[in-house]
A and B are shown apart, each in its own frame.
Chain A
Amino acid sequence: MVGVVGGVEGRPPDERELVLRARRGDMRAFEDLVSPHQELAFRVAYLITRNPADAEDTAQEALVKAWRGLGRFRAGAPLRPWLLRIVANEARNRSRASGRRAQLALRAAADFSGEAAPSPEEATLAGSERELLLAALEQLPDDARLVLECRYLLDLSERETAAALGLRRGTVKSRTARALDRLRETYATRV
């Protein structure tokens, strides 16, 4: 599936060893540790900040914080949820500070870069149900939108979504169900 980051929570067998080496100051081990997660980290940051430059800064900053905070990471625990939590916290701070998020929208095609997102009406004319679905998704409140984007666009598990959004797993489950209901209503009125 192009564009979807793998959602398997399993860890490579040497992750624990890399954590221990990185804790001893081995920067190369840290790079090996986080490298598989860089794309996902960037996309989580992008979903929250909605600005590629901010997302890049966020991901860079989050990796620095992860490096500095590695001593607090519980060895043997999966790294990805922990890393995503740091990225998402950083992204929320940056998003709030910049105040630019509302001006940006998720694109359905790369060609739209730099322009306003297509309205639902334009999407209808284009005959694209996917664009309609995207437009409906984008109109959800932030809480509902983010939980669905994490679960379905990034293919995060409930646990990872909970870590990224700072929620309990049960909350992720219930919020996802409510968000789907709401999306279903909105989407149904468009197709």
Chain B
Amino acid sequence: MQLESELHALASEIAWPPTPTLRPRLEPRRRELRRPVLAALALSLTAIAAALAVPPSRAAILRFFHLGAATVQIVEQLPPAQERPLAAGLGPTVPTAAAQATLQGMLLLPPLAPPPPLHLRDGIVSLLFRYHGAVVLLSEISDRNGVLVKKLAGSATHIVPVQVGHNAGLWLSGAPHLFILPSGPPRLAHAVLLWHDGHLTLRLEGKHLTETAANTLAQTLG
């Protein structure tokens, strides 16, 4: 007990650096941005759903919609592409400061200790890690960097609108879709949760990822 008392007493003699006045630059919360995003998404999905519901139009369908820095396009037939490892083409690892600078301080991390390495390529910050034993890839893109990624999905890919916390998103599952990055060859992607958080577009991918697991993981990012 004496040592504990001495430690408590020590606390009063620590010369802490003066606490600065913290004035974080707060942006309006996504709640204010959510309505237009949801509205645009709803319109797009309605169009897709309507088109898919009419068999004669299925062959000719060519629709696309946007979610943040991502464009999802429904095509009649996927172009040929290879299945490549999730770790392929992520770019070199970078310090947190570099990733934060790329994303204008909006980087979100999974609650893992230590945090997974951060990769950076073409303005996309990527983290590859295990979640409940399965390998998942988290990609983060700032809307402000002019980076766009594209997804091509055939009619056998299921695309459903989802809520990720307060944010609008899409869950892609079923048949693999094509994932096209700003550089590098396209590759096939399996289950993907895509959502938009403020000015950040996020993407979680894993071959064995379920919608529930992806959504749960997405909401733990911070």
Chain A: residues with CB nearer than 8 A to chain B? 1-4, 23-25, 27, 30, 38-39, 41-43, 46, 52, 55-56, 59-61, 63-65, 67-72, 86, 89, 92-94, 96-98, 106-110, 112-113, 129-130, 133-134, 137, 148, 152-155, 166, 180, 183-184, 187
Contact = CB atoms under 8 A, between A and B. Distances in A.
Contact of B14 (A23, A38, A63, A108): A108
Q: Nearest 10 pairs between A and B by C-beta?
A: A152-B7, A110-B15, A52-B17, A97-B95, A63-B24, A97-B96, A39-B19, A71-B166, A93-B96, A4-B11
Interface string B105-136: 11011010111000000000000000000000
A94 B96 contact: yes
A72 B222 contact: yes
Nearest to B106: A68
Interface of B: 3-4, 6-17, 19-20, 22-32, 95-97, 100, 105-106, 108-109, 111, 113-115, 165-166, 197-198, 219-220, 222
A96 B94 CA distance: 12
A61 B165 CA distance: 21
Contacts of A187: 3
29 contacts: A2-B12, A3-B12, A3-B14, A4-B12, A23-B29, A25-B29, A46-B16, A52-B17, A56-B22, A59-B20, A60-B24, A61-B105, A63-B22, A63-B26, A67-B26, A67-B29, A68-B106, A68-B197, A69-B222, A89-B111, A93-B96, A93-B115, A96-B96, A133-B7, A133-B10, A134-B10, A134-B14, A152-B11, A155-B8
Nearest to B17: A52
A25 B31 contact: yes
A92 B108 CA distance: 14
Given A1-B12, A3-B11, A69-B222, A30 B114 contact: no
